[in-house]
């Protein structure tokens, strides 16, 4: 089962990298957060096929995920999720700029959302210099968010830049992601990338309508959609697009899930 699960994740990561690689630009005006520009383009794998093998025929699931929060936008996002009565997963950071918003993690938990780990500093240079630095950063994140969530229950990670990023090679060598993924599994963590991207963390602040279209266009024919969005002060337009994004998935028969449910049937 473990081997199967590892294969699943490997296929998933490769597929995600390809899909993400198509639509990546740098967030040149951001100091903290995902910019995605460093993801590697790898020949396509059967990401959705491998995922769908384990599901009931035609079951549609959508996983709304938000990276880089909590932030000045989080309350708006939580209000919308509450109004629409759908769950989401937040891959959080605890960097200098967003620390005042960390208590919002508690609200997210109370309202039934999942908290997962992204990075404390979200500094590629810092976290990817070697594997020890990465896990020190994760430890710092866990400590900073521990007043607001049961950190012992957290088992999901999303690597900054994705699990196949190459920006890390500059700092930690070409094998660092391979080492980190292995170590994550040894530590009991699961990691996940995405196969649908809002492309909202780019320069120029795309409009809500553009973000909505980016998501819908990326869905393609995926029955399982892990949607990458961002939760930062710069992504207010993502929150503005969120009601329409949720409505689209509802109207198209998708069930809203948290990342914890991603491998329940494997
Ligand atoms: Zn990020």
DSSP characters over 109-177: HHTT-EEEEEESS--HHHHTS-HHHHHHHHHHHHHHHTTTS-GGG--EE--TT-TTBSHHHHHH-TTHH
CA pair distance 134, 210, nearest whole angstrom: 34
Task: Kindly tell me if the per-residue pLDDT of 157 is higher than 90.
Answer: yes
**Quick one: pLDDT band at residue 203, thresholds 50, 70, 90?**
confident
- The pLDDT, as a whole number, for residue 16 is 44
In a domain, 249, yes or no: yes
- Tell whether the torsion through CA atoms of 33, 194, 108 and 106 is positive or negative: negative
Number of structural domains, the chain? 1
For residue 195, how far is its CA from the centre of ligand 1 (angstroms)? Answer: 15
For residue 113, how far is its CA from the centre of ligand 1 (angstroms)? Answer: 18
24-77 per-position pLDDT tens digit: 333 334 445 666 554 433 333 334 445 555 556 679 999 999 999 999 999 999
The rounded percent of the chain whose pLDDT value lies above 90 is: 73
CATH number at 144 reads 3.20.20.370
205-230 per-position pLDDT tens digit: 899 999 999 999 999 989 999 999 99
174-193 per-position pLDDT tens digit: 999 999 999 999 999 999 99
| Closest by CA position to 40, among listed 197, 195, 165, 158 | 165
117-135 per-position pLDDT tens digit: 999 999 999 999 999 999 9
- The pLDDT, as a whole number, for residue 34 is 67
In a domain, 250, yes or no: yes
Q: How far apart, in Å, are the Cα atoms of 24 and each of 21, 181, 203?
A: 6, 23, 11
For residue 123, how far is its CA from the centre of ligand 1 (angstroms)? Answer: 9
Rounded (5°) CA angle 254-159-213:
40
Task: Kindly tell me if the per-residue pLDDT of 167 is higher than 70.
Answer: yes
For residue 108, how far is its CA from the centre of ligand 1 (angstroms)? Answer: 18
For residue 37, how far is its CA from the centre of ligand 1 (angstroms)? Answer: 11
**Quick one: pLDDT band at residue 204, thresholds 50, 70, 90?**
confident
For residue 250, how far is its CA from the centre of ligand 1 (angstroms)? Answer: 27
In a domain, 266, yes or no: no
For residue 111, how far is its CA from the centre of ligand 1 (angstroms)? Answer: 23
Q: How is residue 101 annotated by DSSP?
A: G
- The pLDDT, as a whole number, for residue 12 is 52
Find the domain containing 213 and state its range. 2-261
């Amino acid at each position: 089962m473990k081997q199967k699960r590892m294969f699943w994740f490997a296929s998933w990561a490769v597929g995600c990298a390809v899909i993400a690689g198509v639509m990546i630009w740098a967030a040149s005006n951001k100091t903290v957060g995902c910019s995605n520009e460093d993801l590697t383009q790898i020949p396509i794998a059967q990401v959705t096929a491998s995922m769908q093998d384990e599901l009931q025929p035609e079951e549609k699931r959508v996983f709304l995920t938000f990276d880089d929060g909590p932030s000045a936008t989080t309350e708006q996002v939580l209000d919308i999720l509450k109004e629409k009565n759908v769950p989401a997963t937040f891959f959080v950071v605890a960097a200098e700029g967003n620390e005042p918003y960390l208590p919002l993690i508690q609200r997210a938990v109370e309202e039934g959302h999942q908290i997962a780990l992204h990075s404390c500093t979200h500094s590629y240079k810092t976290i990817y210099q070697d594997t020890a630095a990465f896990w020190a950063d994760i430890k710092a994140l866990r400590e900073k968010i521990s007043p607001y969530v049961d950190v012992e229950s957290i088992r999901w990670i999303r690597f900054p830049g994705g699990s196949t990023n190459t920006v890390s090679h500059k700092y930690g060598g070409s094998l660092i992601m391979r080492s980190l993924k292995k170590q994550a599994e040894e530590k009991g963590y699961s990691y996940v990338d995405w196969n649908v991207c809002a492309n909202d963390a780019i320069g120029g602040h795309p409009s809500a309508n553009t973000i909505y279209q980016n998501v819908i266009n990326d869905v393609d024919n995926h029955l399982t959609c892990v949607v990458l969005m961002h939760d930062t002060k710069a992504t207010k337009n993502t929150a503005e697009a969120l009601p329409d994004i949720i409505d689209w998935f509802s109207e198209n028969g998708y069930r809203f899930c948290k990342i914890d449910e991603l491998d329940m049937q494997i």
